[in-house]
Structure 1
Protein backbone atom coordinates (compact mmCIF):
# COMPACT_ATOMS: atom_id res chain seq x y z
CA UNK A 1 0.00 0.00 0.00
CA UNK A 2 1.30 3.44 -0.86
CA UNK A 3 2.18 5.92 1.89
CA UNK A 4 0.14 8.58 0.12
CA UNK A 5 -3.13 6.82 0.95
CA UNK A 6 -2.42 6.47 4.64
CA UNK A 7 -4.27 8.96 6.93
CA UNK A 8 -2.71 9.66 10.31
CA UNK A 9 -5.58 9.89 12.88
CA UNK A 10 -3.21 11.08 15.56
CA UNK A 11 -2.33 14.30 13.71
CA UNK A 12 -6.05 15.59 13.10
CA UNK A 13 -7.62 18.13 15.59
CA UNK A 14 -11.10 17.43 17.12
CA UNK A 15 -14.04 19.84 16.20
CA UNK A 16 -15.07 22.22 19.08
CA UNK A 17 -18.86 21.67 19.04
CA UNK A 18 -19.35 23.41 22.41
CA UNK A 19 -18.05 26.69 21.01
CA UNK A 20 -20.42 26.62 18.03
CA UNK A 21 -23.33 25.66 20.28
CA UNK A 22 -22.73 28.65 22.55
CA UNK A 23 -22.57 30.98 19.58
CA UNK A 24 -25.80 29.59 18.17
CA UNK A 25 -27.58 29.89 21.48
CA UNK A 26 -26.41 33.49 21.82
CA UNK A 27 -27.67 34.36 18.36
CA UNK A 28 -31.00 32.63 19.06
CA UNK A 29 -31.41 34.50 22.35
CA UNK A 30 -30.59 37.76 20.61
CA UNK A 31 -33.22 37.08 17.95
CA UNK A 32 -35.81 36.17 20.61
CA UNK A 33 -34.98 39.32 22.54
CA UNK A 34 -35.29 41.43 19.38
CA UNK A 35 -38.63 39.83 18.51
CA UNK A 36 -39.83 40.38 22.07
CA UNK A 37 -38.86 44.04 22.00
CA UNK A 38 -40.49 44.57 18.61
CA UNK A 39 -43.62 42.74 19.73
CA UNK A 40 -43.89 44.96 22.81
CA UNK A 41 -43.76 48.14 20.75
CA UNK A 42 -46.74 49.74 19.01
CA UNK A 43 -46.82 52.98 17.00
CA UNK A 44 -49.99 55.04 17.03
CA UNK A 45 -50.34 57.25 13.95
CA UNK A 46 -52.31 60.46 13.50
CA UNK A 47 -56.00 59.73 12.98
CA UNK A 48 -56.15 56.25 14.54
CA UNK A 49 -56.70 54.39 17.79
CA UNK A 50 -54.60 51.48 19.01
CA UNK A 51 -56.81 49.13 21.03
CA UNK A 52 -54.85 46.76 23.30
CA UNK A 53 -56.52 43.44 24.09
CA UNK A 54 -55.53 40.70 26.47
CA UNK A 55 -57.23 37.33 26.20
CA UNK A 56 -59.97 38.99 24.15
CA UNK A 57 -60.67 41.76 26.64
CA UNK A 58 -59.85 45.42 25.94
CA UNK A 59 -57.32 46.60 28.53
CA UNK A 60 -56.07 49.87 27.01
CA UNK A 61 -56.73 52.36 24.22
CA UNK A 62 -54.03 54.67 22.88
CA UNK A 63 -55.30 57.65 20.88
CA UNK A 64 -52.26 59.93 21.08
CA UNK A 65 -49.78 59.66 18.20
CA UNK A 66 -46.38 58.21 19.20
CA UNK A 67 -44.58 55.10 20.43
CA UNK A 68 -46.27 52.97 23.09
CA UNK A 69 -45.61 49.61 24.71
CA UNK A 70 -47.59 46.50 25.62
CA UNK A 71 -46.92 43.08 27.08
CA UNK A 72 -45.39 41.02 24.26
CA UNK A 73 -47.09 37.86 23.04
CA UNK A 74 -49.85 38.21 25.64
CA UNK A 75 -51.43 41.44 24.50
CA UNK A 76 -52.52 42.13 20.92
CA UNK A 77 -53.53 45.37 19.18
CA UNK A 78 -56.32 46.39 16.85
CA UNK A 79 -56.20 49.59 14.81
CA UNK A 80 -59.35 51.72 14.52
CA UNK A 81 -59.79 55.03 12.64
CA UNK A 82 -59.90 58.18 14.79
CA UNK A 83 -61.41 60.55 12.20
CA UNK A 84 -64.63 61.33 10.38
CA UNK A 85 -65.66 58.63 7.94
CA UNK A 86 -68.23 58.53 5.16
CA UNK A 87 -70.65 55.62 4.86
CA UNK A 88 -72.57 55.29 1.60
CA UNK A 89 -75.71 53.19 1.95
CA UNK A 90 -77.33 51.02 -0.67
CA UNK A 91 -80.52 52.22 -2.38
CA UNK A 92 -83.74 51.23 -0.62
CA UNK A 93 -87.46 51.47 -1.45
CA UNK A 94 -89.90 53.05 1.00
CA UNK A 95 -93.57 54.10 1.03
CA UNK A 96 -94.62 57.73 1.56
CA UNK A 97 -97.70 58.90 3.43
CA UNK A 98 -99.69 59.14 0.17
CA UNK A 99 -98.75 55.54 -0.72
CA UNK A 100 -96.06 56.39 -3.28
CA UNK A 101 -93.10 54.05 -3.54
CA UNK A 102 -89.78 55.87 -3.87
CA UNK A 103 -86.13 54.86 -3.97
CA UNK A 104 -83.84 56.72 -1.57
CA UNK A 105 -80.05 56.90 -1.53
CA UNK A 106 -78.42 58.04 1.75
CA UNK A 107 -74.97 58.69 3.09
CA UNK A 108 -73.72 59.40 6.61
CA UNK A 109 -70.67 61.06 8.14
CA UNK A 110 -69.69 59.32 11.39
CA UNK A 111 -66.77 58.62 13.76
CA UNK A 112 -65.80 56.28 16.58
CA UNK A 113 -66.12 57.97 19.97
CA UNK A 114 -65.55 55.01 22.32
CA UNK A 115 -63.27 52.30 20.85
CA UNK A 116 -63.73 49.98 23.85
CA UNK A 117 -67.50 49.98 23.58
CA UNK A 118 -67.37 49.60 19.81
CA UNK A 119 -65.05 46.56 20.04
CA UNK A 120 -67.21 44.95 22.72
CA UNK A 121 -70.47 45.43 20.79
CA UNK A 122 -69.84 45.70 17.03
CA UNK A 123 -66.42 43.95 17.05
CA UNK A 124 -65.24 45.68 13.83
CA UNK A 125 -65.73 48.87 11.82
CA UNK A 126 -67.70 46.88 9.25
CA UNK A 127 -69.98 45.59 12.00
CA UNK A 128 -70.54 49.12 13.31
CA UNK A 129 -71.36 50.38 9.81
CA UNK A 130 -73.79 47.52 9.31
CA UNK A 131 -75.69 48.37 12.51
CA UNK A 132 -75.60 52.08 11.69
CA UNK A 133 -77.01 51.40 8.21
CA UNK A 134 -79.91 49.46 9.73
CA UNK A 135 -80.67 52.29 12.16
CA UNK A 136 -80.50 54.94 9.42
CA UNK A 137 -82.78 53.05 7.05
CA UNK A 138 -85.30 52.35 9.81
CA UNK A 139 -85.34 56.01 10.88
CA UNK A 140 -85.55 57.38 7.32
CA UNK A 141 -88.37 55.00 6.49
CA UNK A 142 -90.30 56.11 9.58
CA UNK A 143 -89.75 59.83 8.93
CA UNK A 144 -90.52 59.79 5.19
CA UNK A 145 -93.50 57.53 5.83
CA UNK A 146 -95.10 60.52 7.60
CA UNK A 147 -94.61 62.85 4.58
CA UNK A 148 -96.31 63.11 1.20
CA UNK A 149 -94.28 62.53 -1.94
CA UNK A 150 -94.58 66.16 -3.09
CA UNK A 151 -93.28 67.41 0.28
CA UNK A 152 -90.16 65.31 -0.20
CA UNK A 153 -89.28 66.32 -3.78
CA UNK A 154 -90.66 69.87 -3.92
CA UNK A 155 -88.01 72.38 -2.81
CA UNK A 156 -90.63 75.01 -1.91
CA UNK A 157 -92.54 72.66 0.37
CA UNK A 158 -89.65 70.50 1.52
CA UNK A 159 -88.49 70.41 5.13
CA UNK A 160 -85.39 68.29 4.51
CA UNK A 161 -83.17 70.37 6.74
CA UNK A 162 -85.36 69.59 9.77
CA UNK A 163 -85.71 66.01 8.53
CA UNK A 164 -81.92 65.50 8.43
CA UNK A 165 -81.59 66.87 11.97
CA UNK A 166 -84.32 64.57 13.29
CA UNK A 167 -82.80 61.53 11.58
CA UNK A 168 -79.31 62.33 12.90
CA UNK A 169 -80.55 62.76 16.47
CA UNK A 170 -82.58 59.54 16.39
CA UNK A 171 -79.73 57.46 14.89
CA UNK A 172 -77.33 58.75 17.57
CA UNK A 173 -79.77 57.62 20.25
CA UNK A 174 -79.73 54.13 18.77
CA UNK A 175 -75.92 54.14 18.38
CA UNK A 176 -75.23 55.24 21.96
CA UNK A 177 -74.34 51.64 23.00
CA UNK A 178 -71.99 51.10 20.04
CA UNK A 179 -69.35 53.76 20.78
CA UNK A 180 -70.05 55.63 17.54
CA UNK A 181 -71.58 59.01 16.67
CA UNK A 182 -73.21 60.17 13.45
CA UNK A 183 -72.27 63.73 12.50
CA UNK A 184 -74.73 64.08 9.64
CA UNK A 185 -77.20 62.03 7.61
CA UNK A 186 -78.15 63.21 4.13
CA UNK A 187 -80.51 62.04 1.41
CA UNK A 188 -78.48 62.18 -1.80
CA UNK A 189 -81.22 61.23 -4.22
CA UNK A 190 -84.90 60.32 -4.38
CA UNK A 191 -86.15 58.42 -7.43
CA UNK A 192 -89.29 56.64 -8.45
CA UNK A 193 -89.47 52.98 -9.41
CA UNK A 194 -89.59 52.62 -13.19
CA UNK A 195 -93.19 51.37 -13.06
CA UNK A 196 -94.41 54.61 -11.42
CA UNK A 197 -92.04 57.09 -13.01
CA UNK A 198 -93.96 57.94 -16.19
CA UNK A 199 -97.33 58.37 -14.49
CA UNK A 200 -95.85 60.67 -11.86
CA UNK A 201 -94.00 62.68 -14.50
CA UNK A 202 -97.27 63.09 -16.42
CA UNK A 203 -99.05 64.28 -13.28
CA UNK A 204 -96.23 66.68 -12.46
CA UNK A 205 -96.36 68.14 -15.99
CA UNK A 206 -100.11 68.61 -15.64
CA UNK A 207 -99.66 70.34 -12.28
CA UNK A 208 -96.98 72.62 -13.70
CA UNK A 209 -99.20 73.51 -16.66
CA UNK A 210 -102.07 74.26 -14.27
CA UNK A 211 -99.77 76.46 -12.20
CA UNK A 212 -98.56 78.24 -15.34
CA UNK A 213 -102.15 78.84 -16.46
CA UNK A 214 -102.97 80.24 -13.03
CA UNK A 215 -100.04 82.64 -13.31
CA UNK A 216 -101.21 83.67 -16.80
CA UNK A 217 -104.74 84.28 -15.53
CA UNK A 218 -103.43 86.39 -12.68
CA UNK A 219 -101.29 88.31 -15.15
CA UNK A 220 -104.23 88.96 -17.46
CA UNK A 221 -106.37 90.12 -14.53
CA UNK A 222 -103.62 92.44 -13.37
CA UNK A 223 -103.18 93.71 -16.91
CA UNK A 224 -106.92 94.45 -17.22
CA UNK A 225 -106.90 96.21 -13.84
CA UNK A 226 -103.92 98.37 -14.80
CA UNK A 227 -105.45 99.23 -18.19
CA UNK A 228 -108.80 100.12 -16.61
CA UNK A 229 -107.07 102.28 -14.01
CA UNK A 230 -105.02 103.97 -16.72
CA UNK A 231 -108.12 104.61 -18.88
CA UNK A 232 -109.93 106.06 -15.89
CA UNK A 233 -107.08 108.38 -15.07
CA UNK A 234 -106.78 109.40 -18.74
CA UNK A 235 -110.51 110.20 -18.89
CA UNK A 236 -110.23 112.21 -15.67
CA UNK A 237 -107.29 114.14 -17.09
CA UNK A 238 -109.12 114.76 -20.40
CA UNK A 239 -112.29 115.86 -18.62
CA UNK A 240 -110.32 118.27 -16.48
CA UNK A 241 -108.45 119.53 -19.54
CA UNK A 242 -111.75 120.07 -21.43
CA UNK A 243 -113.24 121.88 -18.44
CA UNK A 244 -110.17 124.07 -18.16
CA UNK A 245 -110.25 124.72 -21.91
CA UNK A 246 -113.94 125.66 -21.81
CA UNK A 247 -113.31 127.99 -18.92
CA UNK A 248 -110.36 129.62 -20.67
CA UNK A 249 -112.35 129.88 -23.91
CA UNK A 250 -115.28 131.44 -22.10
CA UNK A 251 -113.03 133.89 -20.36
CA UNK A 252 -111.37 134.71 -23.70
CA UNK A 253 -114.68 135.24 -25.47
CA UNK A 254 -115.88 137.38 -22.62
CA UNK A 255 -112.75 139.46 -22.78
CA UNK A 256 -112.98 139.67 -26.59
CA UNK A 257 -116.62 140.79 -26.40
CA UNK A 258 -115.66 143.43 -23.88
CA UNK A 259 -112.89 144.65 -26.17
CA UNK A 260 -115.29 144.68 -29.15
CA UNK A 261 -117.87 146.61 -27.18
CA UNK A 262 -115.33 149.14 -26.07
CA UNK A 263 -113.98 149.50 -29.63
CA UNK A 264 -117.36 149.69 -31.35
CA UNK A 265 -118.83 152.10 -28.82
CA UNK A 266 -116.24 154.65 -29.93
CA UNK A 267 -117.56 154.58 -33.57
CA UNK A 268 -121.13 153.24 -33.97
CA UNK A 269 -121.12 153.87 -37.70
CA UNK A 270 -118.05 151.73 -38.18
CA UNK A 271 -119.68 149.04 -36.08
CA UNK A 272 -122.74 148.96 -38.32
CA UNK A 273 -120.44 148.76 -41.36
CA UNK A 274 -118.49 145.92 -39.76
CA UNK A 275 -121.66 143.99 -38.96
CA UNK A 276 -122.90 144.45 -42.48
CA UNK A 277 -119.66 143.19 -44.00
CA UNK A 278 -119.67 140.23 -41.64
CA UNK A 279 -123.14 139.31 -42.81
CA UNK A 280 -121.92 139.22 -46.40
CA UNK A 281 -119.67 136.32 -45.50
CA UNK A 282 -122.66 134.08 -44.92
CA UNK A 283 -125.10 135.48 -47.49
CA UNK A 284 -123.08 136.38 -50.58
CA UNK A 285 -120.99 134.11 -52.80
CA UNK A 286 -120.20 133.89 -56.54
CA UNK A 287 -123.61 132.33 -57.26
CA UNK A 288 -125.70 134.81 -55.28
CA UNK A 289 -128.23 137.13 -56.95
CA UNK A 290 -129.31 139.96 -54.67
CA UNK A 291 -132.45 142.01 -55.19
CA UNK A 292 -132.75 144.77 -52.66
CA UNK A 293 -134.09 148.32 -52.57
CA UNK A 294 -131.58 150.92 -53.56
CA UNK A 295 -131.90 152.71 -50.27
CA UNK A 296 -131.35 149.60 -48.09
CA UNK A 297 -128.22 149.41 -45.92
CA UNK A 298 -126.81 146.67 -48.14
CA UNK A 299 -127.30 148.71 -51.28
CA UNK A 300 -125.94 151.84 -49.76
CA UNK A 301 -122.85 150.01 -48.61
CA UNK A 302 -122.34 148.26 -51.91
CA UNK A 303 -122.80 151.52 -53.80
CA UNK A 304 -120.43 153.31 -51.48
CA UNK A 305 -122.92 155.59 -49.79
CA UNK A 306 -121.77 155.60 -46.18
CA UNK A 307 -123.42 158.85 -45.22
CA UNK A 308 -127.00 159.60 -44.38
Structure 2
Protein backbone atom coordinates (compact mmCIF):
# COMPACT_ATOMS: atom_id res chain seq x y z
CA UNK A 1 0.00 0.00 0.00
CA UNK A 2 2.78 2.39 0.90
CA UNK A 3 4.64 1.50 -2.29
CA UNK A 4 1.56 2.25 -4.42
CA UNK A 5 1.14 5.61 -2.71
CA UNK A 6 4.74 6.50 -3.47
CA UNK A 7 4.25 5.60 -7.11
CA UNK A 8 1.17 7.81 -7.27
CA UNK A 9 3.09 10.73 -5.78
CA UNK A 10 5.84 10.26 -8.34
CA UNK A 11 3.31 10.15 -11.18
CA UNK A 12 1.59 13.28 -9.92
CA UNK A 13 4.94 15.04 -9.69
CA UNK A 14 5.83 14.01 -13.24
CA UNK A 15 2.45 15.12 -14.53
CA UNK A 16 2.83 18.40 -12.65
CA UNK A 17 6.26 18.98 -14.16
CA UNK A 18 4.93 18.21 -17.63
CA UNK A 19 1.98 20.54 -17.05
CA UNK A 20 4.27 23.31 -15.80
CA UNK A 21 6.62 22.93 -18.73
CA UNK A 22 3.82 22.97 -21.31
CA UNK A 23 1.27 25.32 -19.77
CA UNK A 24 3.20 27.82 -17.62
CA UNK A 25 5.64 30.52 -18.73
CA UNK A 26 7.26 33.51 -17.03
CA UNK A 27 7.62 37.03 -18.37
CA UNK A 28 10.37 39.39 -17.19
CA UNK A 29 9.40 43.01 -16.51
CA UNK A 30 11.70 44.02 -19.38
CA UNK A 31 9.89 41.71 -21.82
CA UNK A 32 6.55 41.46 -23.59
CA UNK A 33 5.32 38.04 -24.65
CA UNK A 34 3.29 37.02 -27.66
CA UNK A 35 1.20 33.82 -27.48
CA UNK A 36 0.93 31.89 -30.76
CA UNK A 37 -1.68 29.25 -31.55
CA UNK A 38 -0.76 27.14 -34.56
CA UNK A 39 1.62 29.93 -35.60
CA UNK A 40 -0.98 32.70 -35.41
CA UNK A 41 -0.51 35.46 -32.79
CA UNK A 42 -3.52 35.72 -30.50
CA UNK A 43 -2.51 37.54 -27.32
CA UNK A 44 0.14 39.89 -25.88
CA UNK A 45 1.30 39.64 -22.29
CA UNK A 46 2.91 42.66 -20.55
CA UNK A 47 2.79 45.05 -23.56
CA UNK A 48 4.77 48.28 -23.26
CA UNK A 49 1.71 50.56 -23.60
CA UNK A 50 -0.23 48.90 -20.74
CA UNK A 51 0.27 48.45 -17.02
CA UNK A 52 3.17 46.13 -16.26
CA UNK A 53 2.15 42.50 -15.74
CA UNK A 54 5.34 40.44 -15.41
CA UNK A 55 5.55 37.12 -13.60
CA UNK A 56 4.13 33.65 -14.09
CA UNK A 57 1.38 33.16 -16.68
CA UNK A 58 -0.51 30.14 -18.05
CA UNK A 59 -1.36 29.23 -21.61
CA UNK A 60 -4.87 28.17 -22.56
CA UNK A 61 -3.67 25.08 -24.43
CA UNK A 62 -0.42 23.14 -24.28
CA UNK A 63 0.12 23.43 -28.04
CA UNK A 64 0.39 27.24 -27.80
CA UNK A 65 3.85 28.78 -28.22
CA UNK A 66 5.30 31.89 -26.55
CA UNK A 67 7.57 34.40 -28.34
CA UNK A 68 9.20 37.11 -26.24
CA UNK A 69 10.22 40.57 -27.39
CA UNK A 70 12.15 43.31 -25.63
CA UNK A 71 9.97 45.84 -23.87
CA UNK A 72 12.82 48.35 -23.72
CA UNK A 73 14.04 50.78 -26.37
CA UNK A 74 16.09 49.17 -29.13
CA UNK A 75 19.00 50.54 -31.17
CA UNK A 76 19.07 50.85 -34.95
CA UNK A 77 22.64 51.57 -36.05
CA UNK A 78 23.42 52.09 -39.73
CA UNK A 79 26.80 52.57 -41.45
CA UNK A 80 28.00 56.16 -42.06
CA UNK A 81 26.32 57.65 -45.11
CA UNK A 82 27.76 60.05 -47.68
CA UNK A 83 25.22 62.87 -48.07
CA UNK A 84 25.21 65.65 -50.68
CA UNK A 85 23.79 68.86 -49.17
CA UNK A 86 21.79 71.45 -51.11
CA UNK A 87 24.96 73.52 -51.66
CA UNK A 88 26.53 70.46 -53.34
CA UNK A 89 28.92 69.81 -50.46
CA UNK A 90 29.45 66.19 -49.53
CA UNK A 91 29.34 65.09 -45.89
CA UNK A 92 29.95 61.82 -44.09
CA UNK A 93 27.03 61.47 -41.64
CA UNK A 94 27.03 58.87 -38.85
CA UNK A 95 23.57 58.51 -37.30
CA UNK A 96 21.51 56.04 -35.31
CA UNK A 97 17.90 55.65 -34.19
CA UNK A 98 16.14 54.27 -31.14
CA UNK A 99 12.83 52.49 -31.51
CA UNK A 100 10.46 50.26 -29.57
CA UNK A 101 8.05 47.47 -30.46
CA UNK A 102 4.73 49.22 -30.08
CA UNK A 103 2.51 46.45 -31.50
CA UNK A 104 3.96 42.95 -30.93
CA UNK A 105 1.15 41.27 -32.93
CA UNK A 106 1.80 43.38 -36.02
CA UNK A 107 5.55 43.25 -35.42
CA UNK A 108 5.51 39.45 -35.50
CA UNK A 109 3.34 39.36 -38.62
CA UNK A 110 5.50 41.91 -40.49
CA UNK A 111 9.10 41.12 -39.54
CA UNK A 112 9.05 38.17 -37.09
CA UNK A 113 12.02 39.34 -35.00
CA UNK A 114 14.41 42.22 -34.26
CA UNK A 115 16.79 41.23 -37.05
CA UNK A 116 13.97 41.42 -39.57
CA UNK A 117 12.85 44.77 -38.18
CA UNK A 118 16.29 46.29 -38.52
CA UNK A 119 16.58 44.96 -42.05
CA UNK A 120 13.35 46.80 -42.92
CA UNK A 121 14.10 49.98 -40.95
CA UNK A 122 17.68 50.52 -42.18
CA UNK A 123 16.63 51.49 -45.76
CA UNK A 124 13.99 53.84 -44.33
CA UNK A 125 16.63 55.48 -42.17
CA UNK A 126 19.11 55.87 -45.01
CA UNK A 127 16.50 57.29 -47.39
CA UNK A 128 15.23 59.77 -44.79
CA UNK A 129 18.78 60.92 -44.05
CA UNK A 130 19.45 61.62 -47.70
CA UNK A 131 16.10 63.32 -48.31
CA UNK A 132 16.13 65.60 -45.23
CA UNK A 133 19.82 66.46 -45.15
CA UNK A 134 19.95 66.81 -48.92
CA UNK A 135 17.48 69.68 -48.69
CA UNK A 136 19.60 71.93 -46.44
CA UNK A 137 23.03 73.54 -46.61
CA UNK A 138 26.10 71.83 -45.19
CA UNK A 139 26.56 74.56 -42.56
CA UNK A 140 23.13 73.75 -41.12
CA UNK A 141 24.07 70.07 -40.85
CA UNK A 142 27.51 70.66 -39.33
CA UNK A 143 26.74 73.41 -36.84
CA UNK A 144 23.32 74.91 -37.53
CA UNK A 145 19.86 73.44 -37.03
CA UNK A 146 20.83 69.86 -36.26
CA UNK A 147 18.10 69.34 -33.64
CA UNK A 148 15.35 70.28 -36.09
CA UNK A 149 16.87 68.04 -38.75
CA UNK A 150 16.95 65.03 -36.41
CA UNK A 151 13.28 65.53 -35.58
CA UNK A 152 12.45 65.72 -39.29
CA UNK A 153 14.37 62.47 -39.96
CA UNK A 154 12.61 60.74 -37.06
CA UNK A 155 9.19 61.78 -38.36
CA UNK A 156 10.06 60.63 -41.88
CA UNK A 157 11.17 57.17 -40.68
CA UNK A 158 8.10 56.89 -38.46
CA UNK A 159 5.85 57.66 -41.41
CA UNK A 160 7.44 54.95 -43.57
CA UNK A 161 7.32 52.41 -40.71
CA UNK A 162 3.62 53.16 -40.12
CA UNK A 163 2.81 52.87 -43.81
CA UNK A 164 4.55 49.47 -43.84
CA UNK A 165 2.70 48.32 -40.69
CA UNK A 166 5.88 47.18 -38.94
CA UNK A 167 4.46 47.58 -35.43
CA UNK A 168 7.36 49.79 -34.27
CA UNK A 169 7.69 53.42 -33.19
CA UNK A 170 10.83 55.49 -33.78
CA UNK A 171 11.58 57.34 -30.54
CA UNK A 172 14.39 59.55 -31.75
CA UNK A 173 17.22 59.90 -34.26
CA UNK A 174 20.67 61.15 -33.33
CA UNK A 175 23.52 62.34 -35.54
CA UNK A 176 26.79 61.28 -33.94
CA UNK A 177 28.93 63.29 -36.32
CA UNK A 178 28.75 65.03 -39.68
CA UNK A 179 32.20 65.55 -41.17
CA UNK A 180 33.54 66.65 -44.48
CA UNK A 181 35.40 64.14 -46.62
CA UNK A 182 39.13 64.71 -46.27
CA UNK A 183 39.51 65.84 -49.88
CA UNK A 184 36.84 68.55 -49.43
CA UNK A 185 37.63 69.75 -45.92
CA UNK A 186 40.36 72.26 -46.81
CA UNK A 187 38.32 73.81 -49.62
CA UNK A 188 35.23 74.19 -47.45
CA UNK A 189 37.17 75.63 -44.54
CA UNK A 190 38.78 78.19 -46.87
CA UNK A 191 35.37 79.18 -48.19
CA UNK A 192 33.96 79.52 -44.68
CA UNK A 193 36.96 81.67 -43.72
CA UNK A 194 36.38 83.87 -46.78
CA UNK A 195 32.70 84.25 -45.88
CA UNK A 196 33.60 85.26 -42.33
CA UNK A 197 36.11 87.80 -43.65
CA UNK A 198 33.49 89.28 -45.98
CA UNK A 199 31.04 89.51 -43.09
CA UNK A 200 33.70 91.20 -40.94
CA UNK A 201 34.51 93.68 -43.73
CA UNK A 202 30.83 94.51 -44.10
CA UNK A 203 30.49 95.11 -40.36
CA UNK A 204 33.59 97.34 -40.35
CA UNK A 205 32.29 99.32 -43.34
CA UNK A 206 28.93 99.82 -41.63
CA UNK A 207 30.75 100.91 -38.46
CA UNK A 208 32.91 103.39 -40.37
CA UNK A 209 29.86 104.82 -42.14
CA UNK A 210 28.09 105.23 -38.84
CA UNK A 211 31.21 106.86 -37.34
CA UNK A 212 31.35 109.34 -40.24
CA UNK A 213 27.69 110.15 -39.72
CA UNK A 214 28.26 110.71 -35.99
CA UNK A 215 31.33 112.87 -36.64
CA UNK A 216 29.50 114.94 -39.27
CA UNK A 217 26.57 115.45 -36.91
CA UNK A 218 28.97 116.46 -34.12
CA UNK A 219 30.79 118.91 -36.43
CA UNK A 220 27.48 120.43 -37.54
CA UNK A 221 26.41 120.78 -33.91
CA UNK A 222 29.73 122.50 -33.09
CA UNK A 223 29.34 124.93 -36.01
CA UNK A 224 25.78 125.76 -35.05
CA UNK A 225 26.76 126.23 -31.41
CA UNK A 226 29.71 128.49 -32.30
CA UNK A 227 27.57 130.50 -34.72
CA UNK A 228 24.94 131.03 -32.05
CA UNK A 229 27.61 131.96 -29.51
CA UNK A 230 29.20 134.49 -31.94
CA UNK A 231 25.80 135.91 -32.73
CA UNK A 232 25.02 136.33 -29.05
CA UNK A 233 28.47 137.81 -28.34
CA UNK A 234 28.05 140.27 -31.21
CA UNK A 235 24.68 141.31 -29.83
CA UNK A 236 26.15 141.74 -26.34
CA UNK A 237 29.19 143.61 -27.72
CA UNK A 238 26.96 145.91 -29.74
CA UNK A 239 24.80 146.58 -26.70
CA UNK A 240 27.96 147.28 -24.67
CA UNK A 241 29.31 149.63 -27.31
CA UNK A 242 26.01 151.44 -27.48
CA UNK A 243 25.96 151.74 -23.71
CA UNK A 244 29.54 152.98 -23.74
CA UNK A 245 28.75 155.57 -26.37
CA UNK A 246 25.78 156.71 -24.34
CA UNK A 247 28.03 157.13 -21.31
CA UNK A 248 30.63 158.99 -23.39
CA UNK A 249 27.94 161.25 -24.85
CA UNK A 250 26.57 162.00 -21.40
CA UNK A 251 30.07 162.79 -20.09
CA UNK A 252 30.82 165.00 -23.08
CA UNK A 253 27.65 166.93 -22.65
CA UNK A 254 28.49 167.64 -18.99
CA UNK A 255 32.16 168.70 -19.46
CA UNK A 256 33.41 168.77 -23.07
CA UNK A 257 36.85 169.99 -22.07
CA UNK A 258 37.45 167.14 -19.61
CA UNK A 259 36.04 164.62 -22.09
CA UNK A 260 38.45 165.83 -24.78
CA UNK A 261 41.31 165.56 -22.29
CA UNK A 262 40.29 162.00 -21.24
CA UNK A 263 40.03 160.82 -24.83
CA UNK A 264 43.46 162.29 -25.58
CA UNK A 265 44.94 160.41 -22.63
CA UNK A 266 43.47 157.17 -23.90
CA UNK A 267 44.93 157.84 -27.35
CA UNK A 268 48.37 158.54 -25.83
CA UNK A 269 48.20 155.29 -23.84
CA UNK A 270 47.33 153.18 -26.84
CA UNK A 271 49.85 154.86 -29.14
CA UNK A 272 52.79 154.90 -26.72
CA UNK A 273 52.07 151.73 -24.72
CA UNK A 274 55.33 149.88 -25.50
CA UNK A 275 57.58 152.93 -25.15
CA UNK A 276 59.22 152.33 -28.53
CA UNK A 277 56.70 153.96 -30.85
CA UNK A 278 58.11 156.41 -33.40
CA UNK A 279 55.74 159.01 -34.78
CA UNK A 280 56.42 161.75 -37.34
CA UNK A 281 54.04 164.65 -36.66
CA UNK A 282 54.02 168.37 -37.06
CA UNK A 283 54.84 170.19 -33.81
CA UNK A 284 51.59 172.05 -33.98
CA UNK A 285 49.55 168.83 -34.52
CA UNK A 286 46.35 168.54 -32.53
CA UNK A 287 47.50 165.09 -31.28
CA UNK A 288 49.93 166.73 -28.82
CA UNK A 289 47.65 169.54 -27.77
CA UNK A 290 47.93 168.63 -24.08
CA UNK A 291 51.75 168.32 -24.27
CA UNK A 292 52.19 172.00 -25.07
CA UNK A 293 52.56 174.61 -22.34
CA UNK A 294 49.61 176.70 -23.40
CA UNK A 295 46.19 175.95 -24.57
CA UNK A 296 44.97 176.77 -28.00
**Mapping 1:236-247, distance limit 5 Å:** 236-247=224-235
The equivalent residue for 2:132 is 143
Instruction: Pick one of 275, 283, 294 that aligns with 1:292.
Output: 283
The equivalent residue for 1:281 is 269
Please state if 1:254 is matched with 2:245: no
Contact 2:35 2:43 in 1 (8 A): yes
Please state if 1:134 is matched with 2:113: no
Within 2, Cα distance between the matches of 1:265 and 1:71?
143
The equivalent residue for 1:15 is none
Where structure 1 has 5 or more consecutive residues not aligned to the other structure, the ranges are 1-17
Please state if 1:76 is matched with 2:65: yes
TM-score when normalising by structure 2: 0.82
The equivalent residue for 1:121 is 110
Please state if 1:167 is matched with 2:153: yes
Deviations 1:191-227 (A, max 9, x none): 1111211221122112212222222222222222221
The equivalent residue for 1:220 is 208
The equivalent residue for 1:48 is 31
With over 3 angstroms needed to count, the CA separation of the structure-2 counterparts of 1:287 and 1:196, relative to structure 1, is: closer
Contact 2:157 2:170 in 1 (8 A): yes
The equivalent residue for 1:229 is 217
Computed over aligned residues only, the root mean square deviation of the Cα atoms, in angstroms, reads: 2.9
Please state if 1:209 is matched with 2:209: no
TM-score when normalising by structure 1: 0.79
With over 3 angstroms needed to count, the CA separation of the structure-2 counterparts of 1:96 and 1:300, relative to structure 1, is: closer
Within 2, Cα distance between the matches of 1:30 and 1:37?
10
Instruction: Pick one of 92, 97, 100 that aligns with 2:89.
Output: 100
Give the aligned length: 285
What SS does the corresponding residue of 2:100 show, helix, strand or coil? strand
Deviations 1:230-265 (A, max 9, x none): 212222212222222222221222222222222332
- How far residue 300 of structure 1 moved from its aligned partner, in angstroms, is 5.4
Please state if 1:23 is matched with 2:14: no
Instruction: Pick one of 17, 33, 40 that aligns with 1:57.
Output: 40
Within 2, Cα distance between the matches of 1:299 and 1:19?
174
- How far residue 100 of structure 1 moved from its aligned partner, in angstroms, is 2.4
Within 2, Cα distance between the matches of 1:193 and 1:32?
67
Within 1, Cα distance between the matches of 2:229 and 2:207?
32
With over 3 angstroms needed to count, the CA separation of the structure-2 counterparts of 1:94 and 1:298, relative to structure 1, is: closer
What SS does the corresponding residue of 2:43 show, helix, strand or coil? strand
Please state if 1:192 is matched with 2:184: no
Deviations 1:115-156 (A, max 9, x none): 01101211112322332222011111122233333443352x
